[in-house]
Structures are given as C-alpha cells and as structure tokens.
C-alpha cells in the first residue's frame, strides 16, 4: 500500500531542508504569549500534539514544564530526542511516535497544544475530528486545547501559485492549488538531477466548523486570535488560533 503523503513527506530529509528557515525566536515568543495568556506555570503538564522536530516542546521544557511530544514522523522524533539530550533537558521531555488520530498515552494533561498548522491533514472530516476526540481523552477536567491553524479565508484569497526556490543546491518546485475543500502543495524536488515528488494537503476549515466540532465534543471556545502575538482575528490575519476549554 502506498504511504500516506504525511508519512513519506514528514519523514523525508527534504522536508527539513525546505522549512529550515522557520523562525525559532518567533515560535518562542508565541509560546511566551500563550504562557502569559493561559497562566501556564511549571507545575502544568503539556502535550505537544504533532510536535515535529520539537522546537516548541524543547522551549517549554526549558521553562520548567513536563512536556510530552508525539508525532508520526519517526525521523523527527529521533531528532528532537537528540536535541533534548544536547540541551540537558531530556528529563523534562518524553517523545513517542504516535498517530494523532488514534493514540493512548495513559495519562492526562493540563494543556494540549496543536501548533503550526498540524490539523486538517487527513482525507475525511471524521479523521480530523478524531484528532480532537483523542485530544479530549487526554485532557484533565477544565484542560485547555490550543489549535494554531492557518487562516482559511486568507489562503483562499491568495489563490493558486507556482514557484521554484533553491536551497543548499536543491531545487524545490511548488505548485499550490485547491481541490474540493483542501489546499494542496505538489512539491517536486530536483537534487542534482534526482527527482522526487511529494505532497502536502490541509483541509480548509472555517472557524465555525472547528467551533462546532469542539462544542460537540464538550469544549467551550474561549478565544480566537489572528497572529502569534495573540492579536484580534481579522479576515486577513496570518493565523487562526483557537483556544478551547474542556467543560
């Protein structure tokens, strides 16, 4: 059976090369704003749901929290484990390879953070709803779920595009287009003549759809922010960040 797009792409070294420009300081400032707004203290336990290479997890652990990170990409999990050891904070961190549609960690958390557009990866709405359901099952009473999602209105307004960028001598040709309610990127990698094809896709949910899914699971939506400074959401905001409490 052919691997799902996220299994092959997120485990590829080309994924990390293409996105190596990600701003760690921006991620840290976002976490700082969340800590202030949500009043997160050292005693609180945190699950980084779809933790990737762990830049958020490592920073939260450096602030004194006990953090668990899960991700389907085994390469990312091995990388972040090594980073945690290098930084001397591995005792505060636990990482596991898990599918966020179906996982059981046998513990519950005060906060679950799903950051940097790690929602909407799957083919059906039911699969994406399952992510929220399993998050619910791992939250303490009155626990908080944060979903840092793209702004679907802005993505649609920006339309389709095609471009090539060269990083470390590798050409990435990216075609972004829409299919049904998905935004899709087809990524052709030309590594000195070796061609590889990858794909990214995210189901485009509007706020009302996410809010309805959360409310049906027993969450109360508390806030909707539009950027990493937790500014007011507008139709042209770069992000769509939902904060919900399990009630």
CB 45 within 8 A of CB 71: no
Alpha carbon distance 219, 131 (integer Å): 14
Q: Same structural domain for residues 123 and 52? A: yes
Q: Same structural domain for residues 141 and 63? A: yes
Token match 């939902």: residue? 242
Q: Same structural domain for residues 187 and 242? A: no
Alpha carbon distance 98, 117 (integer Å): 17
Q: Choose one of 163, 183, 200: the last residue of a domain.
A: 200
Q: Same structural domain for residues 107 and 177? A: no
Q: For residue range 56-89, what is the model confidence (pLDDT) as tens digits? A: 999 999 999 999 999 999 999 999 999 999 999 9
Residue 21 has a pLDDT of 80
List C-alpha distances in Å: 163 to 21, 52, 104, 174, 182: 17, 25, 41, 5, 19
DSSP β-ladder status, 219-225 and 239-246: antiparallel
Mean pLDDT score, 160-173: 97
Q: For residue range 74-83, what is the model confidence (pLDDT) as tens digits? A: 999 999 999 9
List C-alpha distances in Å: 112 to 165, 204, 228, 240: 34, 21, 17, 17
Q: Same structural domain for residues 116 and 12? A: yes
Q: Over 80: is that where the pLDDT of 22 sits?
A: no
Q: Choose one of 165, 184, 200: the last residue of a domain.
A: 200
Q: Same structural domain for residues 179 and 70? A: no
Q: How many domains does the chain have?
A: 2
Mean pLDDT score, 91-98: 96
Q: Same structural domain for residues 11 and 90? A: yes
- How confident is residue 101, by pLDDT bands cut at 50, 70 and 90? very high
Q: Characterize 81-113 residue by residue with b for buried, 16 or more Cβ atoms within 10 angstroms of its Cβ, and e for exposed.
A: bebbeeeebbebbbbeebbbbebeeeeebbbbb
Alpha carbon distance 95, 150 (integer Å): 25
Q: For residue range 182-219, what is the model confidence (pLDDT) as tens digits? A: 999 999 999 999 999 999 999 999 999 999 999 999 99
Q: Same structural domain for residues 84 and 194? A: no
Q: Same structural domain for residues 103 and 186? A: no
For residue 204, give both structure tokens.
Answer: 């485009």
Q: Is 182 left (phi over 0), alpha (psi -120 to 50) or beta?
A: beta
Q: Same structural domain for residues 186 and 240? A: no
Q: Same structural domain for residues 97 and 214? A: yes
Which residue range forms the structural domain that includes residue 175?
155-200
The strands making up 161-167's β-sheet, listed across from edge to edge, are: 161-167, 170-179, 182-191, 194-203
- How confident is residue 20, by pLDDT bands cut at 50, 70 and 90? confident
Mean pLDDT score, 5-10: 94
Q: Same structural domain for residues 171 and 136? A: no
Return the CATH number at 103: 3.40.50.150
Alpha carbon distance 2, 8 (integer Å): 9
Mean pLDDT score, 151-160: 97
């Amino acid at each position: 059976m052919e691997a799902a797009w996220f299994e092959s792409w997120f485990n590829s070294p080309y994924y990390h090369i293409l996105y190596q420009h990600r701003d760690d300081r921006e991620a840290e400032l976002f976490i700082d704003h969340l800590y202030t707004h949500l009043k997160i203290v050292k005693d609180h336990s945190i699950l980084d749901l779809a933790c990737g290479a762990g830049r958020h997890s490592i920073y939260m652990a450096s602030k004194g929290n006990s953090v668990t990170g899960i991700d389907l990409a085994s390469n990312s999990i091995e990388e972040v484990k090594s980073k945690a050891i290098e930084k001397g904070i591995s005792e505060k961190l636990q990482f596991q390879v898990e599918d966020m549609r179906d996982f059981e960690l046998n513990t519950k958390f005060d906060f679950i953070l799903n950051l940097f557009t790690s929602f909407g990866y799957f083919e059906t709405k039911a699969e994406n709803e399952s992510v929220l359901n399993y998050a619910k099952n791992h939250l303490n009473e009155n626990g908080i779920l944060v979903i840092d999602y793209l702004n679907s209105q802005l993505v649609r307004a920006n339309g389709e595009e095609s471009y090539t960028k060269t990083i470390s001598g590798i050409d990435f040709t990216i075609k972004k287009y829409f299919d049904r309610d998905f935004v899709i990127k087809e990524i052709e990698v030309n590594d000195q003549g070796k061609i590889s094809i990858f794909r990214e896709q995210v189901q485009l949910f509007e706020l009302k759809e996410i809010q309805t899914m959360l409310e049906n699971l027993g969450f109360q939506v508390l806030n909707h922010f539009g950027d990493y400074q937790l500014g007011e959401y507008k139709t042209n905001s770069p992000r769509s960040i939902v904060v919900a409490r399990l009630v």
